[in-house]
Amino acid sequence: MKRLRFVDLDAKLAALAARQGGAASPRAASKRWEAHFLLTAAVGVAIALIGAQLLSGTLGLTVALLGIAVEFAGVLGFGTVVLRQEIPKLRRPREDFARGLDADRAEFERLVAWLRAFPADEIARSLRYLRVRQDSLHQRTGLLTGGVERLGVLPILIALYLQFKDWRFGDWQALGDITLVGGILAMFVLMMFALGYLAVALRVRLDLMVYLLTEAATAAGTSPHVEDSEAHADR
C-alpha cells in the first residue's frame, strides 16, 4: 500500500512558503530568523552578565559592553526581519491580502490533489494521527511558553528595561553594571520569546497539514465529523 510520509508533505509546504509570501503562508523561514536573532540577543545578555558579575576592572567593562553590543545586534536584526515582512503589506493591505489568499488557495488545491493519490484509509489514518499530535503540541507549547508570542515586542522592551532602568545617558561606566537578577530575567524573557516564535512556526505547519488532509479525506468520501469522533475515541 502506498504510504503517506509527513516529511514529503512538509517539504511541499516548505517549497510553497519559499515561493509565496501570501497571508496564509507559514513564514517558517522568517520566523526561524526572528528566533535566531532573539537567541543572539539572549546570548549577548549572558556575555554582558559574565562581564558585569564575574570580571572586574577594564576587562569586565569591555566584556559587558561587548555583550550589550551583541544583544542590540540581535534586537536590531529581529526588528529588521519583522519590518521587511510587514512594511510591504502597508501599501495595499487589503488587496495584497486577498491576492495572497487566492495564490495560496490555488497551491493548497494542488497539494490536496497530490494527497488524493493516496488510498482513502491511509489518508484517514494519517489525519487521525495528526489531530492527536496537534492537540498534544498545543498543550506542550502552551505549558512552555504560554501566549508569549502574542505580546509583540513587549517582552523585548521588558528585557531592555530590566537591564537599563537605572542607566543615564553618557554614564558608560554604569552601562556595564548589570545586576544578576535583572540580567537573568532579561535573558530568560528573550529565550522564552524566541521559543514562542519557534512554537508558532511548528503549530502553523501542523495546522496546515491537518487542513490539507481534511480536504483530501473529504474529497475521498470520508466525513471529517466521523474522523473527529474517531480521534476523540482513540484519545
Domain extents in the chain: 6-234
Per the listing, cell 509546504 goes with 13
pLDDT in the model for residue 226: 42
- Of the two residues 161 and 232, the one the predictor is more confident about is 161
With a cut of 90, say whether residue 14 has pLDDT above it: no
pLDDT in the model for residue 230: 47
Per-residue confidence band for 212, with pLDDT thresholds at 50, 70 and 90: very high
With a cut of 60, say whether residue 234 has pLDDT above it: no
- Of the two residues 103 and 217, the one the predictor is more confident about is 217
pLDDT in the model for residue 41: 84
CA 235, CA 211: separation in Å to the nearest integer? 20
CA 45, CA 186: separation in Å to the nearest integer? 7
pLDDT in the model for residue 189: 75
Which residue spans within 96-229 are E strands per DSSP?
Answer: none
pLDDT in the model for residue 115: 92
Q: Which three cell numbers, joined as nine digits, stand for 87?
A: 512594511
Residue 128 backbone class (left: φ over 0; alpha: ψ -120 to 50; beta: rest): alpha
With a cut of 70, say whether residue 19 has pLDDT above it: no
Amino acid in the structure at residue 28: A
Per-residue confidence band for 233, with pLDDT thresholds at 50, 70 and 90: very low
Among 16, 36, 35, 37, smallest CA distance to 25 is for 16
CA 214, CA 37: separation in Å to the nearest integer? 35
| 37-51, 95-109, 173-187: least confidently modelled range | 173-187
